[in-house]
């Protein structure tokens, strides 16, 4: 009995942090909407330029999700604890959602900014993101096609680690082949127009907390579900 | 466990392949077919234009053929439950990986050489100039293809829909290799020396993938 209480403890900690993150997110969201609506309209691109406050923050979430997957996978291979595998799943699923949203908002902005027909350009970052998206779709497919829970967790961990190694490699190769850079190298201080800095910052913060909240929520669901299954199994075998 | 395990597995795989020639024949026939399909898919071209398309066409064919070969790497170990015997071998399993990957490397390289030869005959493209550079690029790129391919093949063989899963898992991880290889081959087919940046990339990717797969293979086999 003691053992099962102990293993529930991480679930409880996750639950507490999930509530804290939820409150922060709830407080940030109205402020986010307020500053984005109030932000100055771009002289060239008009209202559409406000995708800026959504699109790059989504990208950070996507990358973060994939890093979380690799860390969770490595921890699982090292320690063999189920909760680390659940963290890896959470990272992959939330990361895939953020990545998909980024791949949807990007072309909308692109078509508006670069002219009709320009839904897609084989630019360095676009190509890289698309590849990562495919890697994580493959990760999720691998999870659903492998038989046996422990084996699924092991295989997925391995693939998650391979996937994250691809990020620096892709950056290097795409840089070398010389994809035409449609994306700015980095957002330097001052490259944003006047009055756009604050909404951009608030957007990054809000979407970061949205990411963290969803990640922890998904993690908690996974941990509790695994715990429930384990208790069911124990009940059946001791009966 | 040490290198002798890798050596034993390499010899075993090559001997099995030599006696049956199953994979070899399947991969060669498949490669020729892909090239023939490309012939019907593209507009008529003179040999100079053809030379521009050759690296892309050849590398796509190489990767597809490699997937066919890699799919069988561990499928043949499923018979008589040989996978379990492999997993029960004492010591680091990375050596099993090394033996398997090396055998696949030899097989894939042989098929690629024959494919390139047939390509030269059928399409009047002269690939002989810069053959040493081309061979170097093929040899290096195959290190990456075989290392990741062997690891993923050992995983996909244990899943449902393994024939679909292997390419879906493998192709995204091979894109950097493919880009570097095409870039290198474009230069060598034109008779130039292989560009240093492409070689550098192939060496780094090959090294990273080999070490990573050697270490991760420990977690792939079970029972």
Tokens (6 digits) for B162: 């393994």
Interface confidence, given as ipTM, is 0.89
Q: Using CB atoms, pick whichever of A131, A154, A165 lies closest to residue B175.
A: A131
The pLDDT score that the predictor gives to residue A133 is: 92
- Asked if B160's CB is within 8 angstroms of A173's CB, the reply is no
Measured between CA atoms, the residue of chain B closest to residue A143 is B159
Which residues of chain B make contact with A134, given a CB cutoff of 8 A?
171-172
The pLDDT score that the predictor gives to residue B79 is: 81
Tell me the Ramachandran region of residue A198: left when phi exceeds 0, alpha when psi lies from -120 to 50, beta otherwise.
alpha
Q: How many Cβ atoms from other residues are within 10 Å of residue B137's Cβ?
A: 26
Measured between CA atoms, the residue of chain B closest to residue A173 is B176
Distance from CA of A162 to the nearest CA of B (A): 8
| Percent of chain A predicted with pLDDT > 90 | 33
**A172-214 pLDDT per residue, tens:** 777 776 655 556 555 444 456 677 788 888 888 999 999 999 9
Distance, in Å, from the CA atom of B126 to the CA atom of B134, rounded to the nearest integer, reads: 12
Half-sphere CA count of B42, side-chain side, radius 13 A: 16
**A100-148 pLDDT per residue, tens:** 999 888 888 878 777 777 788 777 677 878 888 999 899 999 999 988 8
A 60-99 residues with CB < 8 A to B: 77
What's the CA dihedral at A27, A28, A33, A35 to 10 degrees?
120
Assess whether pLDDT exceeds 80 at residue A7.
no
Interface contact A19, partner B, CB < 8 A: no
Half-sphere CA count of A200, side-chain side, radius 13 A: 16
Residues of chain B with confidence (pLDDT) below 50: none
Q: What is the average pLDDT across A215-219? A: 93
Interface contact B212, partner A, CB < 8 A: yes
Distance, in Å, from the CA atom of A191 to the CA atom of A205, rounded to the nearest integer, reads: 19
Q: Using CB atoms, pick whichever of A138, A154, A163 lies closest to residue B219.
A: A154
Which residues of chain B make contact with A137, given a CB cutoff of 8 A?
168
Distance, in Å, from the CA atom of A122 to the CA atom of B57, rounded to the nearest integer, reads: 20
């Amino acid at each position: 009995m003691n053992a099962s209480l102990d293993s529930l403890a991480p679930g409880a900690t996750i639950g507490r942090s999930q509530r804290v993150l939820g409150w922060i997110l709830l407080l940030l969201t109205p402020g986010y909407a307020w500053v984005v609506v109030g932000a100055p309209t771009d002289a060239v691109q008009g209202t559409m330029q406000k995708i800026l406050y959504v699109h790059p923050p989504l990208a950070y979430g996507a990358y973060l999700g994939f890093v979380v997957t690799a860390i969770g996978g490595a921890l699982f291979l090292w320690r063999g604890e189920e909760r680390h595998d659940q963290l890896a799943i959470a990272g992959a699923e939330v990361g895939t959602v953020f990545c998909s949203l980024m791949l949807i908002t990007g072309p909308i902005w692109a078509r508006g900014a670069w002219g009709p027909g320009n839904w897609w350009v084989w630019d360095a970052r676009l190509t890289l993101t698309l590849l990562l998206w495919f890697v994580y779709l493959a990760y999720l497919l691998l999870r659903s096609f492998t038989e046996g829970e422990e084996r699924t967790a092991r295989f997925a961990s391995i693939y998650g680690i391979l996937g994250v190694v691809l990020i620096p490699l892709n950056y290097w190769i795409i840089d070398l082949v010389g994809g035409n850079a449609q994306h700015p190298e980095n957002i330097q201080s001052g490259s944003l127009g006047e009055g756009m800095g604050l909404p951009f910052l608030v957007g990054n913060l809000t979407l970061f907390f949205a990411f963290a909240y969803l990640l922890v929520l998904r993690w908690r669901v996974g941990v509790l579900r695994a715990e429930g299954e384990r208790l069911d199994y124990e009940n059946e075998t001791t009966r | 466990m040490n290198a002798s395990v890798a050596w034993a597995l390499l010899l075993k795989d090559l001997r099995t392949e030599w006696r049956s020639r199953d994979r070899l024949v399947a991969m060669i026939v498949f490669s020729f077919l892909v090239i023939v399909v490309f012939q019907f898919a593209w507009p008529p071209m003179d040999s100079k234009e053809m030379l521009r398309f050759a690296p892309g066409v050849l590398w796509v064919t190489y990767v597809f053929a490699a997937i066919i070969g890699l799919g069988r790497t561990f499928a043949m170990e499923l018979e008589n439950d040989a996978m379990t015997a492999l997993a029960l071998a004492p010591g680091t399993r990375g050596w099993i990986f090394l033996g398997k990957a090396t055998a696949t490397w030899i097989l894939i390289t042989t098929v690629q050489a024959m494919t390139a030869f047939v390509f030269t005959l059928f399409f009047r493209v002269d690939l002989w100039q810069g053959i040493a550079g081309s061979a170097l690029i093929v040899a290096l790129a195959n290190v990456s293809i075989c290392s990741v391919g062997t690891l993923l093949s050992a995983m996909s063989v244990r899943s449902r829909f393994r024939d679909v899963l292997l390419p879906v898992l493998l192709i995204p991880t091979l894109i950097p290799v493919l880009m570097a290889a095409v870039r290198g081959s474009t230069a060598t087919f034109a008779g130039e020396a292989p560009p240093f940046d492409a070689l550098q990339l192939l060496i780094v990717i090959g090294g990273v993938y080999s070490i990573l797969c050697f270490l991760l293979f420990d977690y792939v086999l079970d029972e």
